[in-house]
Amino acid sequence: MAMMTGEEYVESMRKMNLQVYMFGKKIDNPVDDPILRPSLNSVKATYDLACNPEFEDLMTATSSFTGKKINRFLHIHQGTEDLVKKVKMQRMLGQQTAACFQRCVGMDAFNAVFSTTFEIDKKYGTNYHKNFVEYAKYCQEKDFTVDGAMTDPKGDRGLAPHAQPDPDMYLRVVEQREDGIVVRGAKAHQTGAINSQEMIVMPTISMGPEDKEYAVSFAVPTDAEGIIMIVGRQSCDTRKLEGSELDVGNSEFGGMEALVVFDDVFVPNDRIFLNGESEFAGMMVERFAGYHRQSYGGCKVGVGDVLIGAAAVAAEYNGCAKASHIKDKLIEMTHLNETLYCCGIACSAEGTRTESGNYMIDLLLANVCKQNVTRFPYEIARLAEDIAGGIVVTAPSEADLRSPVTGPYVEKYMAAAKGVTVENRLRILRLIENLCLGSAAVGYRTESMHGAGSPQAQRIMISRQGNLPMKKELAKKIAKIKE
């Protein structure tokens, strides 16, 4: 099968029998639901842009399995050039959508599972790596969107998986069968789950032998029997039901997350990538987290580009673009944004080959990248709100603008710089609101804090990877200390 167009992707999602719930009701047609459709459009863009010659170099790659052209989101990284192109692709997509385009998790799961299964097979003689290679080829051939599922609800964070009062707080194997396994549990914050045809499940933490039943990785179709998706709420989400694309801020694109429940889901043997080899759970988690922390040096930077641009436009519309403090704030926003990009590129350029043959980013630099992402987008958003002014959260609605009664007042008192229409001023304010406070903030500001692990998770990895003993020896050598 050739690579799909955006429309072909949309039609493929119509054929899925997803069990999606939102606001307590089953959504029979997620594809055309007005709240969910913008998130589907973001994924659709990854197909449309892959078919565009202008973006082909970034959006596509050559499969290391078949030699065919594939979407880069389904690629196994073959060198540092692939790692760098991944980050550049993510920045471009952030610029094009100003939203979460949802496929990074699957791409990062692809590469983490690929190398980890190779090492499990090497130790235990299992068939996990072969299983995964065949699965990857299948997804490449179908040109599927693959979701990556790692985060468990976790219950009491002070207790290990096996010690939880409710054993389902971490996804686990509840039945070992001759032809496969049955799993039960849930995965939280699942970005793009309802817009994916497939899902790769991984453990969420390192595990010991007593957590053996929780050390599991596998792939299932997203409409497999027993999978239920409960859509997470986003700020301003019901604005999409009001019929005003102006008030939404970014009416075409968006992101989505869901709580994905696995209610005794069967997984056949040829789709299992880890099943009880608990000492490899940590390796899979660490590698996935590293790749995903690299990703944030691309996607968040692209969305940041849009926000910086929106702040600059707002300053012009407000009539204060030439003020020195406005110029300085835009410079600071750019400095912070490009620093994030530097980290994403650096950890990619310093990548190394794994035993399996794919390339892994520099883990220390990837964690530094994500640590910066937990801070800089918040400052970028703060400065954008500063530049835009308080009107960004108190502006009248489009209905008030169009009303024969209130419209003339809105036109009169919302006017700013000469030659700028009130409608255009409202549009840029709503975009800033969307990125800083609205539904897109889930994929920019808040996700910058918790996506790919909380700040403390990165600090732990920075401590592990920082090689402090070597640095102490350097200092002692220069100081001519002899012990």
Active site residues: 100, 104, 191, 257, 292, 296, 299, 447
Q: Three-state SS across 78-129? A: CCHHHHHHHHHHHHHHHHHHCCCCCCHHHHHHHHHHHHHHHHHHHHHCCCHH
Backbone angles phi, psi at 476, to 5 degrees: -65, -35
Cα pseudo-dihedral 63, 67, 68, 70, rounded to 10: 10
From the centroid of its chain, how far is CA 315? 30
Question: To which H or E segment does residue 418 belong?
Answer: none
Assess contact for 231 and 20: CB atoms under 8 A: yes
Backbone angles phi, psi at 236, to 5 degrees: 65, 15
Return the residue matching tokens 């970005």: 191
Angle between helices 281-318 and 80-97 (to 10 degrees): 40
Which residue type is seen at 305? D
Q: Is 300 helix (H, G, I), strand (E, B) or coil?
A: helix
Assess contact for 272 and 474: CB atoms under 8 A: no
Strand 216-221 with 69-71, pairing: unpaired
- Structure token digits, residue 480: 């001519």
Q: How far apart are CA 433 and CA 390, in angstroms?
A: 11
